[in-house]
Each structure stands twice: as structure tokens, then as C-alpha cells.
Structure 1
């Protein structure tokens, strides 16, 4: 088991600190024991909890936050001790829907504010599974809504997810409040050089999802955990493969 430890933080362009190692809750199904699992993660030292409207895990995360604070899991004493991220769903990625969508997420979480609110995808569709419902993504209109979320104090920092280097350049050119984070798949098999270069130049933190590879994904990045090179390095360092590939990402966080 992992020992309780302090996870380092990175300072966002809003001045707020974000723990560099987070506990993600994306899942094809929501297990009944997810709140207990999250509380255990907090007990082990996790302070950054990541969810999204599309995951269906916001209620579980909210229940876990309440229980962790109530029980003092891991030595925390208040909601302020945790960093909670959620994301704007594709059906609400439209001007006029952003602030109401965040208020709905906060209601599901039972929280007054998010530490970080992200545009989940640069896509708008009433039904993400049905291409016939795709609509034009109004980047400026959506981002003005994100800026309003921050102005209202509903989110301390705002950012994006799954934005390419070109989309980041476009967003940064129109943003009055620049994004604090761009969350993308990033691991030893997919290093996102162009995205990291653009974000570094503009002071945007790149957050990695699927750092161990996206198991079962169509693009086949399962190879991260099955890499012969990674297994060789892990054996040489007397570490697990997961420890090696997570440590690799810490170089990007410096």
C-alpha cells in the first residue's frame, strides 16, 4: 500500500496551487463503492480529485469530499484542503449554457465552488454519441462563459481539455482570462510536444490524463504498461512500471 505523503503542487497562472498528482474518476460505469475508494485515496495522500459531468461521478466525488472532511481522512480539516476539478459537458458547450452547467455540477457535488473548471472537449453536440447532433463549437462564446464562472467565484481557475496546439493558440488570442490548464492525454507513449510547447510559452499548465496509457482505447496506448523498455527500466530501478511512467511525467511538471 502507498504511504501517506505530501504531493507537490504547481502554481497556476491564477496564483492558486494545484497538486500535480490527481485521483481521476472517469469510468464506463460508476461503482457503488466509489465514494469509499475516493476517501481512501485522500487518506493515502491524494488532494486533487478529478471528475466531469460526462463521467457521472460528481455525486460520488461530492459524497467523498463530505465524508473525508467529516472524518478528517488523511489529516484534512476542511474542504479547502482538497482541490476539485470538474468539466463542462459537450451538450452544454454553448454560449449561455456554461454558467448554468457549472451550477448544476456544483449542486451534484454539494460544493460552493470548484478549484478548476475545464471545457471537456472543443465540441458541441446535444448527444455526444450521435454525430447528427454536432453543432459548430463557438470557442469565444463558450470561453466568455468560462470567464464569467471565474468572475462569479464559482470556479477559482478555468481551463480546457483536449485542445490541440492550434486550438490553444486560437483560444489564447481571444481570451481576456487565459486558461490555467489544458488537460490532455499525456504519457511516455504520447508526449504532446507541440501542445506542451505552446502551453509553456503562455504559462498554461499541461495536465496529463491516462498517464499509464488509455487501457482499451481505440488508439491502443495500452502499450505504455506493456512496453519492454519500461519493464527493463522498472527492473533496473527496483520500481513498478507505473512508478516509472508517473516519474517520467514529473519532469514535465518542473
Structure 2
């Protein structure tokens, strides 16, 4: 599989398996992806996806089938919760370290916030405090690389103003229906690798490319599936 080299020198596979909404099928999906599909890039988030334990079971089963140890995961917490959250993640995934740990969103939610959150539930977060804790995880060799998700250029520029370790990865929604060119160019300029999620579009955002007429027309012309 094609891969990209991060600032740390580590490689990240070009294609990864997202486990959002996998639910009870997460274990089977992970095993199939790793053993049969050759995937070495797995993405999960404890609170958002709710399948972290199932993903860990899938990785363990795949390891029994001869998996080479290269896995990548994502998560987000407030500063005081970063280390305890990682320890819980490592326990559920049955791993000793993570290749990649990401700040999932550049904000925090009020305790007991509804899902989806209301306007008053979204609060500012201690960006520098959180990032310092993330850097400490890397220094302690609990994670090999750290990065961010869903940041804007303004927020990422603010982060770069005080970082000791530059984010290795910026993960964001990006596909033909949502190009995000400004953010992509900003990351390229700062040597931050970009990982695109929802590459087939997002039904929630009204950008479902699988059923897009133009995509369908091109797919038929090339004798390919829309995906």
C-alpha cells in the first residue's frame, strides 16, 4: 500500500479504515480490513464512535493472524483528561502505544451536553494546555505522532504559535464536494500531512457523492463503481 512520510520519519498508509457507525460490526470490519484487505491504518474515537473496545478486539484477532504492528487512532479530551483518556484507550485497544493520536475537535462540550450539542453546549478549550499534554504523551513514547482534526486555518495558525512538536497530521473532511483548498495549502506550507475523511462525501452535510449524477456518469464511463 502507498504511504506518506510524516515529519517524525514514520510512515502513514495512504488509505485507512474509518469505523464510525460500525457498531457491533466493528470487530468483523477491522479483521476483514486488516487480514483480507491489507489495511494498516485504522481510525477510531471512543466517545464519538462508541466502538473502541470492538476495534481493539478486531486488532487482537488480526494480530493472531500475523498483523504487523502498525495502527493509527484518533481521540480528543480536555487537558486534564488527555493522559487518563489515552491510558483507557490503550487498555481497550489492548495496545502498548499508538502511532497517531489526534485532538478530535478544537472545542469542548459542557458536561451532560446533548447530541447533537446545542449552541450553549459548545465551549472554548485550553488549546495550549491540551497540546502540552499531547506533547508529553509523545515524549513518554506512549504515542509516536500527534495531530489535530477539524481545525480551521485560524485555529491551526494559533496552535503553531506555541508548539514544540508541530502536528504531524491534520484530519478534515475533504472530497470533490468539499475541497477545503485553503486548509490544504496551509498544511502543505507547514509540512503537515492532510488526511481526508468522508472521501465519498457526507450525507449529513448534503454532499453525498455516491449518488451524485456527475460521479455516476463518470463511473459508468470508466466502468467503475461510484465509490
Instruction: Compute the TM-score of the two structures, normalised by the length of structure 1.
Output: 0.83
Aligned partners of 1:135 and 1:220: how far apart in 2?
26
Structure 1 equivalent of residue 105 of structure 2: 121
Structure 2 equivalent of residue 220 of structure 1: 206
User: Can you give the 5+ residue segments of structure 1 that lack an aligned partner in the other structure?
Assistant: 1-6, 243-254
Name which of structure 1's ranges 120-129 and 192-201 shifts more when overlaid on structure 2: 120-129
User: Kindly tell me: are residues 68 and 177 of structure 1, through their superposed partners in 2, closer, same or farther at Cα, counting changes over 3 Å?
Assistant: same
Structure 2 equivalent of residue 64 of structure 1: 58
Aligned partners of 1:152 and 1:167: how far apart in 2?
26
- Deviation string 1:53-85 (CA, Å, 9 cap, x unpaired) is 22111111111111001123xxx3x4x2x3221
Q: Spell out the pairing of 1:1-254 with structure 2 (5 A cutoff).
A: 7-27=1-21, 30-31=23-24, 33-42=25-34, 43-54=36-47, 55-72=49-66, 76=67, 78=68, 80=69, 82-88=70-76, 92=77, 94-125=78-109, 126-129=111-114, 130-131=117-118, 132-215=120-203, 217=204, 219-222=205-208, 224-242=209-227
Instruction: Compute the TM-score of the two structures, normalised by the length of structure 2.
Output: 0.92
CA RMSD in angstroms comes to 1.5
Aligned partners of 2:139 and 2:112: how far apart in 1?
29
Aligned length: 221
User: Kindly tell me: are residues 128 and 182 of structure 1, through their superposed partners in 2, closer, same or farther at Cα, counting changes over 3 Å?
Assistant: farther
Structure 1 runs (4+) greater than 3 angstroms displaced: 130-135
